[in-house]
Amino acid sequence: MTTMKIWLFCYLLVILACSFAHTLSTSVGTDRDIPRTWCIANPLSLKTNLQRDIAFLCTNVDCSSIRPGGACFNPNTFQNHASVLFNLYYKAHGAQESYCKFGGDAMLSLSDPSYGTCKFE
Whether 25 shows a pLDDT value over 50: the answer reads no
Domains of the chain: total: 2
Q: Is 115 a member of any domain?
A: no
Q: Which of 78, 20, 11, 80 is nearest to 49 (CA)?
A: 78
Q: Is 1 a member of any domain?
A: yes
Q: Please tell me whether residues 98 and 82 are part of one structural domain.
A: yes
Phi-psi region of 96 (alpha: psi -120 to 50; beta: other; left: phi over 0): beta
Domain span at 68: 38-109
Q: Please tell me whether residues 58 and 79 are part of one structural domain.
A: yes
d(CA 45, CA 12): 61
Q: Is 96 a member of any domain?
A: yes
Q: What is the mean pLDDT of residues 75-92?
A: 98
d(CA 8, CA 89): 53
- The model carries a pTM of 0.73
Q: Please tell me whether residues 47 and 16 are part of one structural domain.
A: no
Q: Please tell me whether residues 51 and 15 are part of one structural domain.
A: no
pLDDT value of position 6? 62
d(CA 9, CA 12): 5
Q: What is the mean pLDDT of residues 43-53?
A: 98
